[in-house]
Amino acid sequence: MVKGIVKKLLKYPIKLANRLFVYNYYKTSPKRDNYRVDNIIAPSDRLLVISPHVDDETIGLGASLIKAKELGLHMSLVYMTDGGGSTSDLSREELVAERKKEGLGVKESYGFNKVYFLDEPDGNLNSSKPSLVDRLVDILEREMPSKVFTPFLIDGHRDHVETSLALMRAVERWDEDFKEIYMYEVNCPIYPELITDLTTMDEELFLEKGQKYQIFKSQWVMGFDAFKLLDRGKAKLLEGNDGAQAAEVFVKADLTSLKSIEEYLKSIDFKPHAFRQLSSEYNLILAFLKNRGRKDEIMRSVKEILRESKSVKI
């Protein structure tokens, strides 16, 4: 009860502090000179979205998916985990069923042609599990995507990192020369210098993406307003683009550069829990600042790895 009262008292001061922090961060952070803007989706594309949990796809690329739906693209979605690890008043079995129902709502809302539920245990995803990689290879062969979307490898949630590592192992078997891999942001803000591509949102599209969060009724502890604020802040990366009221960000990579990043992360014994997950307005600033020095060091090294890639221009 006391905690609830304190939260109510702090709600508006925290909102103001977050807004000032986020806008200043994106306005003053070092940026690239050559972001690719609204170039991530082409009329002939076939898209495959790999999502660790139900809702990650909307947080990371909901606006891009809305644009893809408008173009009538063939889109497929893979949910890696069963969602049973979320905070909830439901039993695990009830929560898993509810999350799957929400996933089907996502399929209908965005117009996905196919959704796959792999039902791996939430919180314990293992990218080295042979059967998981086999299933991803099978999906790649069935869907034959021209572009694949997966979470950024530097993230505060183990499942997010393991999702992308599992995809890497599958792509290596499917087509080791495949270069159209786009990593999206979920719980750990991507440094502006690493971003290669942005999808812009006008006010109408921003509000439409915001409506999608209503699908996730089971996620009552999540503060989706925090993700909306970050989308708003990213428009500061595009000063001069009058129509951009918000943006989504991506890092394009090929398999070679991703494997180099994986080896680097192994060499420094990277652990996702070293960084704070962004999950609400109450931990937004902390998500940026926790272990900031360590994060700076990792992001600089990843930048150098991507700079050396022949298919990624950093």
CATH value at residue 42? 3.40.50.10320
Would the pLDDT of 112 be above 70? yes
Q: How many domains does the chain have?
A: 1
Range of the domain at 111: 19-307
Rounded to whole angstroms, the Cα distance separating 132 from 246 reads 35
Residue 45 lies in a domain: yes
Q: What is the mean pLDDT of residues 107-119?
A: 98
Q: What is the mean pLDDT of the chain?
A: 93
Q: What is the mean pLDDT of residues 20-33?
A: 94
User: Residue 74 — pLDDT band, cuts 50, 70, 90?
Assistant: very high
Residue 153 lies in a domain: yes
pLDDT of residue 312: 62
Over 159-221, what HEC string results?
HHHHHHHHHHHHHHHHCCCCCCEEEECCCCCCCHHHCCEEEEECHHHHHHHHHHHHHCCCCCC
**Structure pTM?**
0.95
Residue 150 lies in a domain: yes
